[in-house]
Amino acid sequence: MPFVAYSQASDADEVQLIFNETLRNGKSYEWLKYLTTQVGHRLSGSTGAAEAVNWAKAELDNIADTVWLQPVMVPHWVRGIEEDAYIKGSNKKKNIPVNVCALGGSVGTGSGGITAKVVEVKSIEELAQLGSNRIKGNIVFFNRPMDVTLVRTFDAYMGAVDQRAMGPSEAARHGAIGVVVRSMGLNAEDNPHTGALRYESDAPKIPAIAISTRHADLLSQALKDEPALQFYFETHCETLPDVQSYNVIAELRGSEYPEEIILVGGHLDSWDLGDGAHDDGAGCVQSMEVLRIYKGLGITPKRTVRVVLFMNEENGLAGGREYALQAEQKGEYHMAAIEADEGGFTPRGFSMTASQEFRNQVMSWKPVLEPYGLYDFSHEGGGADIGPLSKFNIPLIGYMPDSQRYFDYHHTKEDTFDKVSKRELDMGAGCMAALIALIDKYGTQ
C-alpha cells in the first residue's frame, strides 16, 4: 500500500500498518528463541524463572517508557529425580514400564515408591459411588479422556481437568494411597502431561502422577484382563518454602488519558518439562511486541498501554492476584485487559467476558480484523492471570488462536521452540496490537 502516516490513517489502514510492521520487523520470534533455548523452563521459584524476569526487564527497557518489577511471593515446587512406574507382572509376566510424570504440587513417594492394586474410575462422581470400601489402600486411576468431538479443544480440556486438579484429594478422602491421572491430551501419545493439582486442607496429601494417554489405554486394558493387578510408581518431588519473584510490568504512557490503562500480557513462568514455548512464552513475547510495534510506527497511544508478564500462573496464580490487589490499592483504572495464553498458533479471534455493548463494539470492527484471520468473537473467557481483575467490571479478553495442536504440547517436554512458527507468532502479536489500537481509539463505551 502507499505510505500513509499513522495519524492520518483510517481504521483499515491503521491495522494494515500494524501488521506490516510486525511481519517485516517483528522481534517476537527472536525473543522467544532466547527465552526458551537460553533461559529454558521457568517454573516458579526456579533459577530459570529468576533469569527470565531479568531478561524480560532488560528487553522491555529498550522499548517502554517505564519498566518495573512487582514483588510477589510464589510457591517453589521441585520435581526431583526422574519418575519411575510400571504395571507389575504376575507369575511369569514381566513388569511393563509406563511413561509418567508427577503432577505439580504433589508430594513424593520417596525411595521405594508405592505398590498397590488399581481402581479405575471415569469421574469423581464414580469414585464417590464406589466409596471407601473399594478405594482404601489402593491406587485410584482417573481415566476419563478429553472429549474429541469438541472442536474447541479448551472446552474438552475443561471437561476433563477436574480429575487432575481435585482427584487426588477426593481419592485420599476415601483412603487411596496414590493417584494416577490420564494425561490431558487428545491424541494417543507417549508423553505424559503435567499440571497442577489442588490439595484440600481436610484430606491427606497423597502422591499423584499423570500417565501418557497411550499408556493409560494400556493400563486400562491390562485391568480388564487382570482386575487384581498391581501398579508401582516412585517420585521424589517436594515443596520448598515460598520465594520472592516478580511480575514484570512495562508501559507506554498515554498522551491524552494516561490514567486509563489497557493491559496486555501473558505468564512468564512455565512448567519444568519442555521450555514453555507455547505455554506461555509465545504470549509473553507477543505482548512485548505490541509495545515494539507502536514504537516502530511512532505511535503514541491516547491511553496507557501496559504489558504485564505475570509470574506463577501454572501452580498458584500468585502474580495475577497480587497485580489485581496492587491495582485496587493504588486506585488504578483499567479500561480493558487482554491475555495471550493459548499458544502461538494461527489467529482465529478473541474470547471475551464483557458487556453486550462491548461485544457489539468489537463486532463492528470485524470488517477490519477479519482479513487477518480474526473472525470468531463468540466465546466467553479472558485469561487466568487477568481473571482477578473481574472485580473491576471491565472487558476481559483472551487472544484465541487455532487450538487443534495446542494439547499435543501442553505441559509436556515437547513444548519447545521448534514447535512454533515465526509467521503465526508474528500474526498473533499483530492481532493484539490491532485490537488495542481500536480500543485506544474508541474506548470501551
Q: What is the amino acid identity at position 162?
A: D
How many other CB atoms are found less than 10 A from the CB of residue 5?
10
> What is each CA distance from 423 to 34, 206, 240, 402, in whole angstroms?
17, 44, 40, 14
For the chain (445 residues), the mean pLDDT of every run of 10, in chain order, is 53 96 98 98 98 98 98 98 93 89 97 97 97 97 98 96 98 98 97 98 97 98 95 98 98 97 98 98 98 95 98 98 98 98 98 96 96 96 97 97 97 98 98 98 89
Three-state SS string over the chain comes to: CCCCCHHHCCHHHHHHHHHHHHHHHCCHHHHHHHHHHHHCCCCCCCHHHHHHHHHHHHHHCCCCCEEEEEEEEEEEEECCCCCEEEECCCCCCCCEECCEEECECCCCCCCCCEEEEEEEECCHHHHHHHHHHHHCCCEEEECCCCCCCCCCHHHHHHCCCHHHHCHHHHHHHCCCCEEEEECCCCCCCCCCCCCECCCCCCCCCCCEEEECHHHHHHHHHHHHHCCCCEEEEECCCEEEEEEEEEEEEEEECCCCEEEEEEEEEEECCCCCCCCCHHHHHHHHHHHHHHHHHHHHHCCCCCEEEEEEEECCCCCCCHHHHHHHHHHHHHCCEEEEEEECCCCCCCEEEEEEECCHHHHHHHHHCHHHHHHHCCCECCCCCCCCCCHHHHHHCCCEEEEEECCCCHHHHCCCCCCCHHHCCHHHHHHHHHHHHHHHHHHHHHCCC
Q: Which pLDDT value is given to residue 445?
A: 73
Q: Which pLDDT value is given to residue 8?
A: 54
CA atoms of 419 and 412, how far apart (whole Å) = 12
User: What does the block give as the cell for 377?
Assistant: 468473537
> What is each CA distance from 370 to 6, 64, 364, in whole angstroms?
20, 29, 11
Q: Which pLDDT value is given to residue 5?
A: 52
- Phi, psi at 36, each rounded to 5°: -90, -40
Q: Which pLDDT value is given to residue 2?
A: 38
Q: Which pLDDT value is given to residue 93?
A: 79
Q: Which pLDDT value is given to residue 127?
A: 98
Three-state SS string over 28-54 comes to: HHHHHHHHHHHHCCCCCCCHHHHHHHH
Q: Which pLDDT value is given to residue 217?
A: 98
How many other CB atoms are found less than 10 A from the CB of residue 229?
17
- Correct CATH for 80-236 of 3.40.830.10, 3.50.30.30, 3.40.50.2300, 3.40.50.300: 3.50.30.30
Q: Which pLDDT value is given to residue 132?
A: 96
CA atoms of 148 and 188, how far apart (whole Å) = 11
Closest C-alpha to 337, from 348, 324, 318: 324
Residues 414 and 271: beta-carbon distance below 8 Å: no
Closest C-alpha to 102, from 411, 311, 410, 417: 411
Closest C-alpha to 254, from 289, 306, 309: 306
Q: Which pLDDT value is given to residue 7?
A: 54
Q: Which pLDDT value is given to residue 9?
A: 67
- The model's pTM is 0.96
How many other CB atoms are found less than 10 A from the CB of residue 3?
5
CA atoms of 347 and 342, how far apart (whole Å) = 11
Residue 313 known to be catalytic: yes
- Phi, psi at 68, each rounded to 5°: -150, 165
Contacts of 430 (CB under 8 A, 6+ apart): 18, 19, 21, 22, 23, 293, 372
CA atoms of 287 and 31, how far apart (whole Å) = 11
CA atoms of 339 and 382, how far apart (whole Å) = 7
Which of 170, 313, 342, 424 is labelled catalytic? 313
Query: 250-278 burial by CB neighbour count: b if 16+ within 10 A, else e?
Result: bbbebeeeeebbbbbbbbbbbbbbbbbbb
According to CATH, the superfamily of the domain at 6-76+241-442 is Zn peptidases (3.40.630.10)
CA atoms of 302 and 443, how far apart (whole Å) = 10
- The domain spans of the chain are 6-76+241-442, 80-236
Residues 377 and 366: beta-carbon distance below 8 Å: yes
